[in-house]
Amino acid sequence: MMIEHRLIERMISLMGKELDIMKSSNKANSSLIDTIVDFIKTYADHCHHGKEEKILFRELLKKDLSEDHREIMDELIKEHIIGRETTGKLVEANKRYSKGDMKALPIIIECMSLLVDFYPNHIEKEDKRFFLPVMSYFTPEEKESMLKEGYLFDQTLIHEKYKEVVNLLDGS
């Protein structure tokens, strides 16, 4: 899951650059925003958050978690919801903007700003304060079982597509 974070961080960096362009030009690139939204909805949320919620968090709920770990997990779940809601607002604002509604631009900028600020903090919390510490609740067999389930989950997704999308946008 932490490898997925690195690709998400690259996209967030690209979003930050696009946000700067939008602010200075007072224009949005609707096509690029559609690509960003597709990445966030499919890769960051469905693939990455999906595995967290449907596999890791599900299994952690079966464990006697410390109060701190339970609080962090609850925060992460709430943050996933905030990310989804913000992305939904971005989709709607971009639709309006692409139809000529210039009043949607500030909403696009607000949503993009929130996501650019949100994801690095969310990822840092997961990487440094949650993922590694909670692994101690699991036996090696349980970890292996979750990894296998994660691989099966991923087989329904298109990782390579989204790596290529980011590489294309990043010029890599």
pLDDT of residue 3: 80
CATH number of 2-170: 1.20.120.520
Q: What pTM was computed for the model?
A: 0.84
Q: What is the mean pLDDT of residues 1-19?
A: 91
**51-62 per-position pLDDT tens digit:** 999 999 999 999
10: pLDDT strictly greater than 80: yes
DSSP secondary structure letters along the chain:
-HHHHHHHHHHHHHHHHHHHHHHHHT---HHHHHHHHHIIIIIIIIIIIHHIIIIIIHHHTTS---HHHHHHHHHHHHHHHHHHHHHHHHHHHHHHHHTT-GGGHHHHHHHHHHHHHHHHHHHHIIIIIIIHHHGGGS-HHHHHHHHHHHHHHHTTS-HHHHHHHHHHHHT-
The domain spans of the chain are: 2-170
46: pLDDT strictly greater than 80: yes
The residue among 152 and 76 whose pLDDT is bigger is: 76
